[in-house]
Amino acid sequence: MTAPDTAVVVTGAASGIGWGIASLLLSRGTGVVAVDRNADRLAQLAREHDGRPLSTVEADLGSGAGCAAALAAIEATGRPISGLVNNAGIGTTSPYLESDYETARTAMAVNVLAGMELTRGLLPGMIARGGGSVVNISSIAAHLGGGIFGDTTYAASKGAVLSFTRGIAREFGPAGIRCNSVAPGAVITPMNEHLADQHGERVRGMVPLGRLGTVEDIAATVAFLLSDEAAYISGSTFTVDGGMSRP
């Protein structure tokens, strides 16, 4: 599915895990369409991967209109899309009774609805070309109900990602679409580096493998799920957390 003339859409590719996923795919010769709201960082990604098959799309995925604009810009690249990584996300870290509707609405919009909209927009083309692979980035917070790196609202949004994944796998498996989730543990990125200063040592102590995760750890799993090596895997959640969420 990663033929040189096709591309994988990676959202949130201007930072952290998404940057790592885009970089790994590009280093392997896979075409990437990187989508993010951060134009400066997208430009930096393009500079670092000069000469590689990368297109960038600046879009704010926090609204239906923003997702529609992103889909139009992806189509305008003219690149056949064979894979989609719904990675763009925001963290929320409030005691639940101190959070509010607007915070929850924003988290749901970016963490859940954006992936649902991009999937809806890109599936018809993928199906017409014989199938493809969708990878949704969830979190171990979905299983743990939140914790140090995310609150109840964040956990709820990441749990919705898991159910969405199973729905797409069930509904579109017959059309050749595979859909899986990756649930990272504690990976230090710009999303949570302020918490890492506070809690990094304690979290490390909670990880059986004795270290925090890297963007490369997550990117390797995503690249596997996009590849034909994962041809019989769909509807699954891959937890990549050094054993942190296991008993």
Ligand X SMILES: NC(=O)c1ccc[n+]([C@@H]2O[C@H](COP(=O)([O-])OP(=O)(O)OC[C@H]3O[C@@H](n4cnc5c(N)ncnc54)[C@H](O)[C@@H]3O)[C@@H](O)[C@H]2O)c1
Q: Which residues are catalytically annotated?
A: 154
Q: Does residue 147 interact with ligand X by CB under 6 A? A: no
Contacts of 143 (CB under 8 A, 6+ apart): 183, 239, 245
Q: Does 12 bind ligand X (CB under 6 A)?
A: yes
Among 17, 134, 135, 162, binds ligand X (CB under 6 A): 17
Residue 164 binding ligand X, by CB under 6 A: no
User: Does residue 30 touch ligand X according to CB under 6 A?
Assistant: no
Residues 195-224 interacting with ligand X (rule: CB under 6 A): none
Q: Which of 46, 90, 175, 206 binds ligand X (CB under 6 A)?
A: 90
Hunting for tokens 């895990």 — which residue is that?
17
Residue found by looking up tokens 């041809």 in the block: 231
Helix (H) or strand (E) holding 185: none
In angstroms, give the least distance from the CB of 130 to ligand X. 28
34 binds ligand X (CB under 6 A): no
Site residue total, ligand X (CB under 6 A): 27
Report the residue number, 126 or 140, with the smaller CB distance to ligand X: 140
- Look at the chain and count its residues: 247
Q: Which of residues 49-88 bind ligand X (CB under 6 A)?
A: 60-62, 87-88
Count the helices and strands in the chain (H runs, E runs). Answer: 9, 7
Out of 110, 112, 123, 142, name the contact with ligand X by CB under 6 A. Answer: 110
DSSP string, 159-175: HHHHHHHHHHHHHHGGG
Q: According to the binding rule CB under 6 A, does residue 186 interact with ligand X?
A: yes
Instruction: Write down the least CB distance from residue 125 to ligand X, Å.
Output: 21
- Asked if 14 is part of the footprint of ligand X (rule: CB under 6 A), the reply reads yes
- For the CB of residue 113, give the shortest distance to ligand X in the complex, in Å: 10
**Interaction site with ligand X (CB under 6 A):** 12, 14-18, 36-38, 60-62, 87-90, 110, 137, 139, 149, 184, 186-187, 189-192
